Amino acid sequence: MPTNSQLFERAKQVIPGGVNSPVRAFKAVGGEPIFIERAKGAYIFDTAGKRYVDYVLSWGPMILGHADEDVINTVKSRIEDGLSFGAPTQIETELAEKVCEIFPSIDKIRFVSSGTEATMSAIRLARGFTGRDKIVKFEGCYHGHSDSLLIKAGSGALTLGVPSSPGVPACLAAHTITLSYNEPEQVIEAFKAMGDQIAAIIVEPVAGNMNCIPPIPGFLETLRQCCDQHGSLLIFDEVMTGFRLGLTSAQGRFNIRPDITTLGKVIGGGMPVGAFGGRSEVMDSIAPLGPVYQAGTLSGNPVAMAAGLCTLNKLANEPDIYTKLFSQTEKLCKGLQAAADAQGIPMTTNHVGSMWGVFFTEDKHITNFKQVMCGNTERFNQFFHGMLDAGVYLAPACFEAGFMSHAHSDEDIAFTIEAAKQVFSQLK
């Protein structure tokens, strides 16, 4: 059996960097990625057969755990009738009805094949519906790799952004205003200056791409108020938070109704799926009803729709799932915090619903991107590799949130905390 190093070298010959998504390459933490052979429940297994307690969970989708029996059986049954048709299917409507039933903010929904496609389409829809070009986003929030969203902040709150990747035209950056997450006064200032030009605000209601950062009280409310006052649309990017903070997701948890919601990850049950939806008035601007064009050859793939519908039905019909998810997440974070404190390691944890994260910093209240960037990256990298060696798989970057699944047992939590104790004792 080839080693991870051999597999990585082979992959690098034919895949840029040896990976199909950059964070998988372990560049942020050093070393080489592990290659996964299979997964079940709370565990993944590499090609050498080593088992890891998994808190990445395919970057969030596996809320029921890997290879959930009901989801797998649903997919097996579905694929016998064909993989894709490029034509309407009943299962698309059934999943759409389920999502609209769950979210009061969504009257109609359009399925796509990824979260990036969902957010890109939501931005286009907002611009087309309002007739405006500018959008507001927040530093540290990631909304996929479409050109309009790969923009970093300028030197001041009202300085227009600049491209954060080669290949993104500067003219697109001129239409993107990048502000600081959890600083509502910046949002108010921006809308006072150019509110009549802003098509939409797009935000992760709980940031999950600068680790796990919940909104401070009043932040999301300010976004809603500014949009209402200036005729702009509020887009909640719930690709990550969708169904992770409860069945009605972040918008239900914080009681804020967005104009457009983007979804992904959990909504596909582990298959590649994205979606964007909102009230009928807005969604009817999408082709073929309206002039805003959006299309996708494999959108609404029946196998993916079936996996997603099975997952959502289980989440909706088994309320104890969320009780356990939230309890286990809190138990893990408390245990990790206690283990760090016992060794005098400066660290704090954040958690919301079934999302969580650790920050190696003296600061005990992490609310923004600037604080995250001041964390001890080297210490996180040591922690990551120590945990990996012990059989615990965390996201290979200090800027990524962790996730809990329904399959994680008390024993898995205890194992993880014990591993952390051993690692922390070596970090002193």
What value, to the nearest 5°, has the Cα angle with vertex 74 and ends 72 and 75? Answer: 65
With contact defined as beta carbons under 8 Å apart, do 413 and 330 qualify? no
Q: Are strands 108-112 and 274-278 parallel, antiparallel or unpaired?
A: antiparallel
Instruction: Supply 147's token pair.
Output: 């050109």
Q: Which residues pair with 39 in a beta bridge?
A: 44
Please report, for the chain, how many H helices and E strands are present, in that order: 14, 16
Name the DSSP class of 206.
S
Instruction: Supply 124's token pair.
Output: 């286009």
The length of the chain in residues reads: 428
Tell me how far apart the terminal alpha carbons of the chain are, to the nearest angstrom. Answer: 37
Q: Alpha helices of 285-409 — where are they, by DSSP H?
A: 302-317, 320-342, 369-373, 377-390
How many Å apart are CA 163 and CA 182, to the nearest integer? 22
DSSP reduced 3-state for 210: coil
| Closest C-alpha to 354, from 408, 410, 312, 307 | 408
CA distances in angstroms from 145 to 21, 153, 338, listed in the order given: 11, 16, 37
Active site residues: 142, 237, 265
Run of H or E including 200: strand 198-203
Classify the phi-psi angles of 162: left when phi > 0, otherwise alpha if psi is within -120 to 50, otherwise beta. beta
| Closest C-alpha to 395, from 141, 150, 206, 211 | 211
How many Å apart are CA 236 and CA 400, to the nearest integer? 19
How many Å apart are CA 243 and CA 249, to the nearest integer? 5
Instruction: Supply 275's token pair.
Output: 């979606």
